Amino acid sequence: MSFESREPPPITKAIDAPPPQTGGPGAREKAMRRTPGRLRRLLKLVGPGLIAGASDDDPATLGTCASAGAALGVVPLWVMLFTTPLMITVQFLCAKLGQVTGRGLTAVLGKHFSRWLLYPVVVALVLANVVNAGADLGAIAAAINMLVPVIPAGYLIVPVALVILALQSWCTYCTIERIFTWLALSLAGYVAAGFLSSPDWDTVFWYTFVPHIELSRDFLEVLVALLGTTFAPYLFFWQSDQEVEEKMAMGRRGLLRRRGTTDAELHYTGWDIGIGMGASNVVTYFIILATAATLHRAGVHDVNTPEAAARALRPLAGPAAQYLLAAGLIGGGFLAIPVLTTSAAYALAETFGWKYSLDRTPGRAKRFYLVIALMTTAAAALNYTGIPPMRALVLTSTIYGFLAPPLLILLLVATNRRAIMGERTNGWLLNALGGIAALATCAGALGLVVTWLLP
């Protein structure tokens, strides 16, 4: 039933009906209409997609990619090229789901699938995100310590956590989005570090465009880790809920007012996500490149922490590379930690029917903000338990590695159901790329099991 009907059915029936084929103009569409000039329009275009892509390049990802470059050199560079269209597709499906249904991913799964399937997914997401946020907090503190050695890293963790928590609690959604967008620029330091490392470009191009696969334990462990950090499940929840947040920030509080989207909004969403995910993989590509051209070439094949990678680059690529990586650690961490804690809070709020939104004050969404506060506190506390950071990150990647495949399958099923998407179900290209992404993550999970069984 469309919104144009003069006598709409009762609300309960309207909510259960397939979504309308078109909704009102979305935030991106409105911004593009009223903004003159190509450059200004481009800046208005990027938003949740860019933030999702940038948050994927957090300190945990730096550690994973630095380890990959140090261990295998330039051999895994092709993985970043291969996964780029798959990342764009997955995030676009999440965004489309949020725009069409007016709900986040958790709410859709809880309504149309068994809640007993949903509960373990949400629990695993919360646990993994806490560990990931804790490792990112430690990396931010260590990076600040590299730039300001007189302040011990241990004294910086709590102040950093409080600043991030204040940002989430007291800024409006629009303000947070603007801050996150500018923080994403700090990741350009990773690209600069790659050029400063002076790689052999002929070899780089060869391994970028010609896939190389080795059936060895070392290679499989690196491949699984790269897939795990590329298809991080928390981004699925974040992206879908950001589309809901965009509509709520426009004043569309009720579900019926949020449902539906336009062709133009989906078009602009595709560009936003394409830019964000493309930039994300460019950054991870250059992290692998920088460490391959320096650490691997120098015989350093083991990197234990993200900040260790930054320090190790100093004598090999000059002090500028170290400082650029340190700046990227700080900016990426400040961007990623709120995404990690908020995506988990979204999942819990939608599972149990709590009020939520970054546009609400803590007094109007108490449980939502309490989850964010508790997760930030737990993440900070992990840094004082003596648990090795890389062991924590391996645990996180393991959880993500087993969580991503079923989530991708459910996402594909949901976005192909007319009862959920109306006429906005997937075309063959989206299904093909989404299916390849699901198969790739399944292969990654199986590969992880293989690495455990290999002697």
406: exposed, middle or buried (C-beta count within 10 Å: 0-12, 13-18, 19+)?
middle
Q: What is the C-alpha to C-alpha distance for residues 381 and 264, in angstroms, rounded to an integer?
A: 45
CA–CA separation, 326 vs 139, rounded Å?
Answer: 9
This prediction's pTM: 0.85
Q: How far apart are CA 337 and CA 343, in angstroms?
A: 10
Give the end-to-end CA distance of the chain in Å, rounded to a whole number: 60
- Mean pLDDT, all residues of the chain: 80
Q: How far apart are CA 386 and CA 196, in angstroms?
A: 35
Q: Residue 249 carries which side chain, given as an amino acid letter?
A: A
Residue 19 contacts residue 243 (beta carbons within 8 Å): no
- The residue among 325, 421, 331, 452 whose CA lies nearest residue 100 is 421
Distance CA 445, CA 260 (A): 35
Contact assessment for residue 104 and residue 241, using Cβ atoms and an 8 Å cutoff: yes
Q: Domains of the chain by range and CATH?
A: 27-453 (1.20.1740.10)
Q: What is the pLDDT of residues 221-255, one digit of tens each?
A: 788 778 877 888 888 998 899 888 888 877 777 77
- pLDDT tens for the chain, 455 residues long, are 333 333 334 434 444 455 555 566 766 777 667 666 666 666 666 666 677 766 777 777 777 888 888 888 899 999 999 999 999 999 999 999 999 998 989 999 988 888 888 898 899 899 889 988 998 898 888 888 888 888 888 889 999 999 989 888 877 656 766 676 666 666 676 677 777 777 889 999 999 999 888 777 778 778 877 887 788 888 899 889 988 888 887 777 777 888 888 888 888 888 889 988 888 888 889 888 888 888 888 777 777 666 666 665 665 556 666 677 777 778 778 888 888 999 999 999 999 989 888 878 888 889 999 999 999 999 999 988 877 666 676 667 777 878 888 899 999 999 999 999 988 999 999 999 999 999 988 887 787 777 777 66
Both tokens of residue 150? 């007189």
**Of residues 243, 3, 310, the one with CA closest to residue 102:** 243
Q: How far apart are CA 196 and CA 441, in angstroms?
A: 33
In one-letter notation, the amino acid at residue 391 is R
CA atoms of 272 and 92, how far apart (whole Å): 9
Chain center to CA of 443: 20
SS3 440: helix
Q: What is the CA radius of gyration of the chain?
A: 21
Three-state secondary-structure class, residue 7: coil
How far apart, in Å, are the Cα atoms of 276 and each of 19, 53, 78, 271, 273? 27, 5, 19, 8, 5
Q: Identify which of 177, 17, 44, 31 has the alpha carbon closest to the alpha carbon of residue 100.
A: 17
- Token representation of residue 106: 């958790």
Which tokens sit at 156?
């910086």
Using alpha carbons, select from 64, 60, 230, 51 the residue that is nearest to residue 142.
60
